[in-house]
Amino acid sequence: MIAENVRMILSALPDGVILVAAAKTRTPDEIRQAVAAGVQIIGENYVQEAADAFGAVGHIAEWHFIGHLQKNKVNKAVPIFDMIETVDSADLGARIDRECAKLGKVMPVLVEINSGREPQKSGVLPEDAEQLIRALAKLDHITVQGLMTMGPRFGDPELARPYFQETKRLFDELAALGLGNAKMRYLSMGMSNTYRIAIEEGANMVRIGTKIFGERQGK
């Protein structure tokens, strides 16, 4: 089932759109099945869960962190991940930079945008993104590679479209500014129920869990 889902999704994605398999709550065996079917990037939300899964399956694909990264977990996250998609403060960026310096590693990161302006959600407000990226661009051990957004959750995926549009607009504006070492290469938006709309609005990275692995129990 997982293999079939992965093949269906991959065959329908337009060229240049990258699939991240959102693997929270999934077992090492489920992750292996997804990778065997063609998944090249695994997304994880929780550092301890990622450490366990990584310990079991190893670097069989790239690992992206897509959850809210607590500052006291940065040291544990940095050795595992190939990209952190959810940087939303200069302080978090500086901590990642410091841990990467210890390992002689340079971490690609995306800046998470709170496109829905939801107070309880993580991400930087769209109007604060430029200043944050200018600060992050000064660090030697991280490289900004683009933006990520979740957007508010709706029953009707069509309602997510304006938030993807706004994030794409911001992505293009930032790309035109030329912000030092920061690049606007990846725009990560869209999940199982919204990824088609996100792609129509310019996403080139989509994070899909349920449509690959089935419904989740709990979180």
Ligand X SMILES: *Cc1c(COP(=O)(O)O)cnc(C)c1O
Interface with ligand X by CB under 6 A: which residues?
22, 24, 45, 66, 150, 191-192, 207-211
Residue nearest to ligand X (CB): 209
Minimum distance between the CB of residue 191 and ligand X, rounded to whole angstroms?
Answer: 4
CB closer to ligand X, 89 vs 188: 188
Residue 174 near residue 133, CB atoms below 8 Å: yes
Q: Which is nearer to ligand X, 6 or 150 (CB)?
A: 150
Smaller CB separation from ligand X, 22 or 184 = 22
Please work out, in degrees rounded to the nearest 5, the angle formed at the alpha carbon of residue 106 by the alpha carbons of 108 and 14: 25
Of the candidates 182, 176, 95, 101, which has an alpha carbon nearest to the alpha carbon of residue 136?
182
Nearer to ligand X, 20 or 139 (CB): 20
Helix, strand, or coil (residue 103): helix
Its sign, for the CA torsion 19, 154, 119, 134, is positive
Question: Least distance from C-beta 115 to ligand X, angstroms?
Answer: 13
Q: How far is the CB of 101 from ligand X (least distance, A)?
A: 27
Separation between Cα atoms, residue 74 and residue 3, nearest integer Å? 32
Q: How many whole angstroms separate alpha carbon 158 and alpha carbon 161?
A: 6
Minimum CB separation of residue 24 from ligand X in Å reads 5
